[in-house]
Copies of this chain bind each other. A is one copy, B any other.
Amino acid sequence: MSHPDSARGTPGFPRPLVPVLAVVGVGLIGGSFAAALRRAGQVGEVWGVGRQAATLEQALELGLIDRAVSLEDAARADLVLMAVPVGATRATLDGLAPHLGPDTIVTDAGSTKMDVVRAAREALGARIGQFVPGHPIAGSERSGPAAAFPDLYRGRTVILTPLDENPPAAVDLVERAWATCGAEIRTMRPGEHDTVLASVSHVPHLLAFAYMAQVLEAADAGLRLDLAGSGFRDFTRIAGGSPDMWRDIFLANRDAMMQETAAVRRALDAFEQAMSEGDEARLRAMLEAVSASRRAWRAGQPSPDTNE
């Protein structure tokens, strides 16, 4: 499919960064990406792909997309953003692969990268260089096209994990697109991404879920929940998250996560050993080191918490 004239831009005006953008999954993530690029005048046409006609209709009405197209057609866009649930990544890649335009760049927004890269290699084969893995660290409780807004990524971090096979121009396009959204780009290897995200995001969620689960299993669970205060509240807030999303992440990133939980168990052992031995000085030193670092981290954060 050739690009309509409008997508090539107007004579005398610079060609937009992304003449034709295809977004697979026009929800909060995909819709906001399109909205940001459109507001910056850096996209010519936006195509939307999805399984639910009602969602695409809503995205059209909201002006997030110009056309609803099939996955096959989307594969000829200049840039394809896969913003689908983690579980749908492989099927999306399989759908794109046979029709992939020679210069089309595909990127994603998944919370894990090693499994996505593995799936992309299987689906795209020798054309793997056309896939630039990415992960925008942003989100909110809301979902769907109505939740999308152009400022979602402003000031947020996007992690790219380019592959050795990616031509520099491919990585550059994806970087510039996210930079246009106002995001800060960090680059690392897929395995490093998964370890770091396991450490600072996935494992805290797992620990909060596991901790809460055993409180609920206690015979006096009602009494415990009655007496639970602000410490419990803050510690378990993230245990109220989406079961579907976290199931997908826990399964996708289990290897990295279990490395990290092993380290947590060892740290817990160390504290408990000091407690068992009644070693006041060591216990205090351990607590002081952590507390000081946590307060320093908080002081370095851009927006102070109202609750701290």
Contacts and interface: CB of A to CB of B under 8 A. Distances in A.
Number of copies of chain A assembled together? 2
A211 to B, nearest CB: 5
Given A227-B197, A291-B241, A233 B301 contact: yes
Interface in A213-239: 213-218, 220, 223-225, 227-229, 231-239
Nearest to A242: B291
Most buried by B among A197, A246, A275: A275
A265 interface: yes
A224 B306 CA distance: 23
A209 B285 CA distance: 12
A210 B291 contact: no
Given A200-B229, A275-B257, A212 B294 contact: yes
Interface in A259-282: 260-261, 263-268, 270-272, 275-276, 278, 280
A74 to B, nearest CB: 28
Interface of A: 137, 157, 159, 186, 188, 192, 195-197, 199-201, 203-218, 220, 223-225, 227-229, 231-244, 246-247, 250-251, 254, 257-258, 260-261, 263-268, 270-272, 275-276, 278, 280, 283-284, 286-291, 293-295, 297-298, 301, 305-308
